[in-house]
Chains A and B, each alone.
Chain A
Amino acid sequence: MAVSQSSLNLTLKIWRQAGPDQPGRFDTHEAKGIPDSASFLEMLDIVNEGIITKGGDPVVFDHDCREGICGTCSMVINGMPHGPKRGVTTCQLHMRSFRNGDTIWIEPWRAKAFPVIRDLAVDRNAFERIQQAGGYITVRTGSAPEANSVPVPKDDADASFAAAACIGCGACVAACPNASAMLFTAAKLSHFNLLPQGKPEADKRTLAMVRTMDEQGFGNCTNHYECEAYCPKLISVETIRQMNRDYRNASARETAGV
């Protein structure tokens, strides 16, 4: 069975920015003879190799696993985080999704809370701080009870897993007109709060993570649901509903002192 192999000539408009405080601009790069079975990042590798051989500075972009799970790659392609295909990361996008002669606009995640480091690479430490504030179940290694001592209803385990599938890439923030991190934070909260193990700290966790999220400079949710549409792991906005409910209950209990 032969795999179709045709090649594309493309015009790339790529955001170039030397540093966080430097001005940026779109540069034009021609990408010639790109095999349609190459991934989007492999297309950029080819372009970069050309730039290097000509003595130029290659385009900086974050990437690592190249199989859609580490959450490192982060590009807005033609205005869409991770590009036009639903449920994939940039590294999983293949050139067969484009046509010969296309012009492709490539930008970094754009959000106040994600400053550009260089070109297409951004600083996502704000996500780290949200998770450090409470994204865990406090259990000391060695003190865990027998694994099957607490049965977890399959539906709860599955819902927790669906939220835990979040890879922390930040596409939700990049997609949101308000640069809100609510889908991300909600996914992390649902992962823990839906499990019996996560219940004892649920209030504390919810308050800490939501407040830290607000402090990082992310915007608020105004129900556009662009986050869900561009999430490569298809995390549901249902998690935001759960977060809002948990936050309301936790802050009421906090105010009441119970």
Chain B
Amino acid sequence: MISEVHDSPTHPGRVSDTPPDGSPTHVPLAQKWTTHKAESKLINPANRRKYTVIVVGSGLAGAAAAATLSEQGYNVKCFCYQDSPRRAHSIAAQGGINAAKNYQNDGDSVHRLFYDTIKGGDFRARESNVHRLAEVSVQIIDQCVAQGVPFAREYGGLLANRSFGGTQVSRTFYAAGQTGQQLLLGAYAALNKEIHQGLVKMYSRTEMLDLVVVDGHAKGIVVRDMVTGKISTHAGDAVLLCTGGYGNVFYLSTNAKGCNVTATWRAHKRGAWFANPCYTQIHPTCIPVSGDYQSKLTLMSESLRNDGRCWVPKRKEDCGKPPASIPEEDRDYYLERKYPSFGNLAPRDIASRAAKEQCDDGRGVGPGGLGVYLDFADAIKRLSEGKIRERYGNLFEMYEQITGENAYKQPMRIYPAVHYTMGGLWVDYNLMSNIPGLHVLGEANFSDHGANRLGASALMQGLADGYFIIPATLPNYLAGQKPGQFTSEGPEFRAAEESARERTRRLLSINGNRSVASFHRELGLLIWDKCGMARTREGLAEALKKIPDLREQFWKNVRVPGSGDSFNQELEMAGRVADFLEFGELLCLDAHTRDESCGGHFRMEHQVEGEADRDDANFSYVSAWEYTGDPGKSKLRKEWLDYEVVHFSTRSYK
């Protein structure tokens, strides 16, 4: 395992206890990626077939990586828990994908996309990775169009764009309100092409339970066949985790029900550092919670904020009135008031906090006063209902199905909800974690979005990592490895498999009297309350005390019905919730340790007129946590962020 320390060039006296990111240091930022590719190792096409690459997850990052590595000649095994790779949760992304194409001739460039992303991330992302992301963005669009992704087009037949939060250009490519599905179908098609030729072996309904580390290198995984219950191991020369984020630690989130932290958490327990877990994104435009039975929250695309205006009544006593009866002068268009230059397109963290602020002030609308209006009346007057239907028809329908309300006739009610997690496993410039051979892509890593992600950047990152970055950087690791060194018969494999079996047996034998879901809900409520949109030192300390108690309760009193050798959804969920109960503690520990506000991490103690008050002198580092046997006593390593090009500034959207 790598563990070197180095001085931070731009923070005198500060020492990073993570290794350097590995990007070239002898060239300016804008030339790093080109130089790195030129200096990277290569593997002869005839030798690539001898290497087996294990890809866990089949969303944008996983499917793109599996397909591309297979095209290059590697032997690929790809795993997903869904019954088809097409169902990975990237499918649900609505709004779009950013790229610095500058098709609108409105002043966009690679540099501007890079800068917007760094600023949007509140100066807590790594410059080298983000610049590369902006560079690669243009190729992604080319690739997707060639695959047949049916992006929206102008009448002349060329690609259309729209604008998204946190930017002042139109650089977002989209396919109505289902850009994620169309991009995933593209990557899925590429994957199918390789499966058909027998070059990728696909394992669906298969869940990763552990990572196998041999001599300090990631060499395999333990999986469970979710239909038969069979636990087995797979050996490979490198492991790629493309397993998404951990938003479901909050129980209620916009994630799919199956999304979980197990793969990354298990890798963490095997030595991989978990970086910045407290950077979680609360999306401002979701449908409000309607009751205790609620199982998930539904997002309404941020693109709605292009035409919808957020408001609440100016006076508390107007909150219960029908919105149409509240005259213009009694409405508070709070985003336009507070952020006149970005208005309704303020970035997500800012728009979410602003909504919470209005509701905390007693001016929220709908059940429990936990909602604000998103009103399309002006846009309908300006453009016609038909035009709005053309732009957002499916979103309006979705809203009506869930709430029973027609948003063409009355404003939508929205409230923030957990949507995306910027934190993830620590990776270097090659996307390799501190465990050699273990690479982490997409939402599962920490690298590109800092403390807040801008809209339409998740799809960009997943595909950048999968199509263009890992295929260029993986050989840097593989070239030093003799292919096929280990088989799944080795002692490390046998031991990891046995420990997964033992854990399953243990879960099934507790036979208590509470359902898995009841523990998950309790954990989620606690974390939403103490580590959600606003966090305090005391609240976090309380959560840090309560989570271990809840975990203990779980292991004493959970009831997991059925057996291990059958299709058992409660057992699957129990394993995932057990991991959330450990991970949640690290999340709160990170939030407690980061004694500043930045991006999605808002500490009530650190604010200036309601805005996040960053502390660059003391906290402009990546927190990389090392597992020590107890999540509450994890060891903190710091990677100080050295900015060459961007200068720290107060992030203002006013």
Chain A to chain B: the 8 pairs with minimum beta-carbon distance, closest first? A151-B157, A144-B146, A136-B189, A161-B150, A144-B142, A147-B145, A70-B87, A64-B256
Which residues of A lie under 8 Å from residue B280 when comparing CB positions? none
Is the CB–CB distance between A72 and B150 below 8 Å?
no
Is the CB–CB distance between A132 and B295 below 8 Å?
no
Residue B91 lies at the interface, judged by CB distance under 8 Å to chain A: yes
Besides A64-B258, A144-B146, A157-B152, 8 other A-B contacts (C-beta < 8 A): A1-B366, A53-B515, A125-B83, A131-B188, A137-B148, A147-B145, A147-B146, A191-B148
The residue from A52, A124, A157 contacting B151, defined by CB atoms under 8 A apart:
A157
Residue B346 lies at the interface, judged by CB distance under 8 Å to chain A: no
Residue B402 lies at the interface, judged by CB distance under 8 Å to chain A: yes
Closest to A212 in B: B196
The residue from A85, A136, A158 contacting B147, defined by CB atoms under 8 A apart:
A136
Which residues of B lie under 8 Å from residue A94 when comparing CB positions? 401-402, 404
Residue B634 lies at the interface, judged by CB distance under 8 Å to chain A: no
Binding site for A on B (CB under 8 A): 64, 67-68, 71, 82-84, 86-87, 89, 91-92, 101, 103, 139, 141-148, 150-159, 175-176, 178, 180-182, 185, 188-190, 192-193, 195-196, 202, 204, 227, 254, 256-258, 290-291, 293-296, 298-299, 320, 322-323, 365-367, 397-398, 401-404, 410, 413, 467-468, 471, 513-515, 517-518, 559, 561-562, 566-567, 569-570
Is the CB–CB distance between B145 and A71 below 8 Å?
no
Residue A21 lies at the interface, judged by CB distance under 8 Å to chain B: no
A153 to B156, CA, bound (A): 7
Is the CB–CB distance between A57 and B562 below 8 Å?
yes
The residue from A52, A72, A93 contacting B515, defined by CB atoms under 8 A apart:
A52
How far, in Å, is A135 (CB) from chain B's closest CB?
6
Residue A219 lies at the interface, judged by CB distance under 8 Å to chain B: no
Is the CB–CB distance between A144 and B559 below 8 Å?
no
Tell me which residues from 7 to 57 in chain A have a Cβ below 8 Å from any Cβ of chain B: 19, 35, 37-39, 41-42, 45-46, 49, 52-53, 55-57
Q: Total contacts A to B, CB within 8 angstroms?
A: 233
Q: Given A57-B562, A137-B189, A141-B68: A151 and B295 within 8 A (CB)? A: no
Taking chain A's interface residues, is the majority helix, strand, or loop, or is none over half, making it mixed? loop
Which residues of A lie under 8 Å from residue B291 when comparing CB positions? 5, 35, 37-38
A144 to B148, CA, bound (A): 11
- Chain A residues with a Cβ closer than 8 Å to the other chain, count: 84
Which residues of A lie under 8 Å from residue B148 when comparing CB positions? 136-137, 160, 191-192, 195, 197-198
| Chain A 98-135 interface 0/1 with B at a Cβ cutoff of 8 Å (1 = within) | 00000000000000000001100101110110011111
Residue A185 lies at the interface, judged by CB distance under 8 Å to chain B: no
A121 to B257, CA, bound (A): 16
Is the CB–CB distance between B181 and A127 below 8 Å?
no
Residue A257 lies at the interface, judged by CB distance under 8 Å to chain B: no
Stretch at the interface among A164-172, A174-182, A221-229, A246-254: A164-172
Q: Given A64-B257, A136-B193: A148 and B159 within 8 A (CB)? A: yes
Is the CB–CB distance between A1 and B293 below 8 Å?
no
Is the CB–CB distance between A42 and B562 below 8 Å?
no
Is the CB–CB distance between B189 and A167 below 8 Å?
no
How far, in Å, is B38 (CB) from chain A's closest CB?
15
A152 to B257, CA, bound (A): 37
A45 to B289, CA, bound (A): 17
The residue from A71, A154, A198 contacting B157, defined by CB atoms under 8 A apart:
A154
A158 to B298, CA, bound (A): 26
Which residues of A lie under 8 Å from residue B367 when comparing CB positions? 2-3
How far, in Å, is B339 (CB) from chain A's closest CB?
27
Closest to A167 in B: B181
Which residues of A lie under 8 Å from residue B515 when comparing CB positions? 49, 52-53
Of B89, B175, B295, B398, most A-chain CB atoms within 10 Å: B295
Residue A67 lies at the interface, judged by CB distance under 8 Å to chain B: yes
A45 to B84, CA, bound (A): 23
Is the CB–CB distance between B295 and A70 below 8 Å?
no
A152 to B146, CA, bound (A): 12
The residue from A96, A144, A147 contacting B404, defined by CB atoms under 8 A apart:
A96
How far, in Å, is A16 (CB) from chain B's closest CB?
13
Residue A256 lies at the interface, judged by CB distance under 8 Å to chain B: no
Residue A258 lies at the interface, judged by CB distance under 8 Å to chain B: no
Tell me which residues from 81 to 96 in chain A have a Cβ below 8 Å from any Cβ of chain B: 85, 87-88, 92-94, 96
How far, in Å, is B230 (CB) from chain A's closest CB?
14
Is the CB–CB distance between B257 and A66 below 8 Å?
yes
Is the CB–CB distance between A3 and B403 below 8 Å?
yes
Q: Given A37-B290, A38-B293: A147 and B159 within 8 A (CB)? A: yes
A157 to B83, CA, bound (A): 29
The residue from A68, A134, A154, A197 contacting B155, defined by CB atoms under 8 A apart:
A154
A151 to B153, CA, bound (A): 9
Is the CB–CB distance between B561 and A52 below 8 Å?
yes
A158 to B157, CA, bound (A): 11
